[in-house]
Amino acid sequence: MVFTDKNFKSICNRLAKRDADLQSIIHQYGYPPLWKRTACFETLVHIILEQQVSLASALAALNKLKEKIVQITAQNLLSLSDGELKACYFSRQKIIYTKHLASEIINGQLNLEELNAMDNDRIRTLLTKIKGIGNWTVDVYLMMVLQRSNLFPLGDIALIKSVRETKRLSKEISKDTIALIAGKWKPYQTIAAFILWHGYLNKRKRQTL
């Protein structure tokens, strides 16, 4: 299932009727943004850069890369040396990961346009074969690029914190228990995650993912 601009708020309303805690976030902060990203190489690079660092740091690296090569394509990225990528704030691991991704695209092993017609499991199988792409990266791609409606990335620290805060849970509560809670939001776990991220950001006076 996918969600769109047309049905996004109505899905938020359905979730709010089912869950008073999600309703309280919408009541306090309004509807969450419908976070969207373009299906392209640059987007996957951006998501890889966001792994285990602050969103601000990842965006700074992406913008520095744009300054260097203007268009973030697989060919342009591979034209840079490791030293040039390091100067764009890429860590050693991120250099390896993004270059490997670029090579997969150039060699025809990965065609991002073909992902649109695939189911979530097939997309996850294809993407996680690529060095540096794990389940969190796939989840974000499915949620924000392909607008698939039923994802809940348990590897996302901010999302887990938001669940604990919103549900007033102990910090020691397991991710398995959180998965059970999120299961109550099926088949719209993605939209529940957007609401929870929205609450998390607003509590910290931040506006963007």
Cα–Cα distance measured from residue 161 to residue 99, given in angstroms and rounded to the nearest whole number:
32
What SS3 string covers 137-205? HHHHHHHHCCCECCCCCCCCHHHHHHHHHHCCCCCCCCHHHHHHHHHCCCCCHHHHHHHHHHHHHHHCC
Q: Where are the domains of the chain?
A: 8-35+150-203, 41-144
pTM: 0.93
Two structure tokens written together for 207: 């506006």
Q: What is the pLDDT of residues 148-165, one digit of tens each?
A: 999 999 999 999 999 999
| Under 8 Å between Cβ of 32 and 198 | yes
Same fold yes or no, 8-35+150-203 and 41-144: no
Domain 41-144 fold is Endonuclease III; domain 1 (1.10.340)
Low-confidence ranges of the chain (pLDDT < 50): none
Read off the pLDDT of residues 64-75 as tens digits, 9 standing for 90 and up: 999 999 999 999
Q: Dump pLDDT digits (tens) for 43-67.
A: 999 999 999 998 899 999 999 999 9
Q: Within 10 A of 116 (CB to CB), how many other CB atoms are there?
A: 11
pLDDT at position 208 is 65
CATH code reported for the domain at 8-35+150-203? 1.10.1670.40
d(CA 44, CA 115): 13
